[in-house]
Amino acid sequence: MDNTILGVFVLYFVVIILIAYLTSRKDLTHSDFLLGGKKLPGWALAFSERATGESAWLLLGFTGFVFTTGLSGIWVAIGIAIGIIFAWVFLARKFMKEAEKEKVLTLSDYLASKFSQNANLIRWLSTILIAGFFMFYIGAQFAGAGKLFLTSFDMNMTTGIIVTTLLVITTAFFGGFISVVWTDMLQSVMMLFTLVVLPIIAFIYIGNNDLSLSEALVNAGPNFDSLFGGATGFAIGVLFFNNFSWFFGYLGGQPQLSSRFMALKNEKEAKQAKIVGIVWTLLAYAGAFAIGLAAIVMYKQGAFADVETVLPTMILDLTPAWFGGLLLAGIMATIITTANSQLLVVTSSVSEDIIHKSLGRKLSDKQLVLVSRITIVIAGFLGMIIALTSESLVYLIVSWAWAGIGCTLSPAILMTFFWKRYSSIGVIATIISGFVFTVLWISTPLDSIITSRFTTFFIAAVFGIVFSLLFPDKKQTEKTA
C-alpha cells in the first residue's frame, strides 16, 4: 500500500465531507433537500449532471470495454455523446419550465401531475421501477469502488465497499441535493482532469518507447483495428445498435439527470449549463476512448484478471504516487457522485412520491427531511449488501439498469412533452412493458444479440402509443367528441 496515494485519498475524503457539511448548515425545506429550491447556478448543475451521469461505468467499465474490443467501441461513445447533447439542447429547458409549471420535485411526480386520472398508480409503478433498478445500480458503484481499492492499495474489496458506502451516505445525508451538487462540482472537475491528462501521459509514454497503436490493434486480436469489429451486412447493424443504443437512455428518462434540468432557475442559467455540459461530454468521452486504446498498446490481452481495472493500473504504472493519487481520486469521484445522486432519487421516490403524495401524509418540511435522511441510510446499506453479494460486472449491471429505467421512462417523457394524445393508461403501459421486457430480455441469450437498451425503448414506446389510442383520457375524449 502506497502511503502517499492513501494520504491523497484521505485528504480527498475529508474535503468532500467538509463541503457536504458546510453546504448543509441551515434549515432545509423538503424542496431544498430534494431539488435545491431553484437556488443553484446553472454551471454547477451542469458539472453535477455530468458527474452523476458518468459513473464507475465510464472510467472503469468503458475503458475496459474499449481495451477488449478496439476501435468499434467508439460507437458507444458516439451514441452517449449524441444522447447527452440532445438532452441539453432539446430537453433541459423543457424540464425546467415543466417543473416550475407543475410545481413538482421528481420525475415520477411530474408524470403523475400530467396524468391525474391515474396519478397514484403512475407514482407507485415508477417508484418501483426506479427503486428496483437503482438499488442494483448503486450496488454496481460500490462494487466499482471495491475494485479501485483492491487495485490501488491491495485492500480487501469488502473494506473498500464499506468505506465508500459510509462516504456516500454521509455526503447525501447532510444537505441532500444541495450538498450533492456542490460535492459533484468538485468531483466533476477531478474526473475530467483524469480523463484529459492520463491519455496525454500515456501517449507520450507510447511515443517515447517507439510503440505503435496500429500494430498493437492488429496484434491484439481479429477485428480490433476495424470500426465495425469485422462485422458485415446485417451484423454491422446489430453492432451499431448494440453500441449506439446507450443514446436512448439519455432522452429524459434518467431521473438522477433530469432532476438537474428541473433544478435550473432561468433561461440564462440553462444556456450557461448547456455549454458546460456539452464541452465536458466531448472532452470526457474522447479521453476515455483514448485511454482504452492506449491500454491496448501498453498491455497484452489477457493481462488483467478483470479488465475494469485497466485505468487504475495505468495510473499506477505511469505517474508518481502523489499525482497518481489525484487521478485515482478522480475515479472515486465518479463512483461517489453517481451513487449519492441515485440515493437521492430513491429517497425522493419514497418521501415525496409515496409518503407525501400517494399516501397523503401531512408532514412538516422538517419531518419530510427526516424521512428522506432515514431512507438514504437504509437504501445506502441495501446497495452495500448488493455489492458485497454480487459478482456481476460494473459494465453489465449499469447496462441493464440503463435499459430498465432510462429506456423505459425516456419514451414516457418524450411522449408527455411532444404528443398530446398520450394518455394515463399509455404511461402505465409504457412503464409496465419496459420493466417486464427488460427483465425477460436480459434473462435470455437474446440480450447478447440485440441489447435490451435498444429493444426496451421501442417496446415501451409501442405499448405507450397503442394503449393511448385504445384508452384515451376522458378529457381527450371530450375534446374530440
pLDDT (tens digit per residue) in 60-118: 788 988 999 899 889 888 888 998 999 999 999 999 999 999 988 888 899 999 998 89
- C-alpha to C-alpha distance for 262 and 434, rounded to whole angstroms: 24
Amino acid identity of residue 45, one-letter, is L
Whether residue 273 has pLDDT greater than 90: yes
- Which range in 155-169, 219-233, 259-273 is most confidently predicted, on average pLDDT? 259-273
Whether residue 418 has pLDDT greater than 90: yes
The secondary structure of 101-124 as a DSSP string is HHT-SSHHHHHHHH-GGGHHHHHH
Whether residue 412 has pLDDT greater than 60: yes
Amino acid identity of residue 146, one-letter, is G
Whether residue 302 has pLDDT greater than 70: yes
DSSP 3-state assignment of 255?
Answer: helix
Residue 394's pLDDT is: 53
Whether residue 392 has pLDDT greater than 70: no
- C-alpha to C-alpha distance for 303 and 80, rounded to whole angstroms: 28
Q: What percent of the chain has pLDDT over 70?
A: 91
What is the rounded average pLDDT of the residues 194-218?
93
Evaluate whether 178 touches 26 at the Cβ level (below 8 Å).
Answer: no
> Over the stretch 146-201, which tens digit does the pLDDT of each residue have?
777 776 677 778 888 888 888 888 878 877 888 888 888 887 888 888 899 999 99
Q: Which of 331, 323, 322 is nearest to 291 (CA)?
A: 331
- Which range in 306-315, 351-360, 466-475 is most confidently predicted, on average pLDDT? 466-475
Rg (CA), the chain: 22
Handedness of CA 182, 184, 187, 188 (dihedral sign): negative
What is the rounded average pLDDT of the residues 268-282?
95
Confidence of residue 239 (pLDDT cuts 50, 70, 90): low
Give the global pTM: 0.82
Higher-pLDDT residue of 389, 206:
206
Lowest mean pLDDT of 4-8, 223-227, 256-260, 273-277, name the range.
Answer: 4-8
User: What does pLDDT average to over the chain?
Assistant: 84
Q: Give the distance, in angstroms, between the CA of residue 425 and the centroid of all CA atoms in the same chain.
A: 28
What is the rounded average pLDDT of the residues 342-348?
84
In the chain, what are the domains?
3-394 (1.20.1730.10)
Higher-pLDDT residue of 42, 453:
42
Q: Which of 237, 251, 132 is nearest to 451 (CA)?
A: 237
Q: To the nearest 10°, the Cα dihedral for 122, 125, 126, 131?
A: 150
- C-alpha to C-alpha distance for 358 and 75, rounded to whole angstroms: 41
41-75 burial string, b = 16+ CB within 10 Å, else e?
ebebbbbbbbbbbbbbbbbbbbbbbbbbbbbbbbb
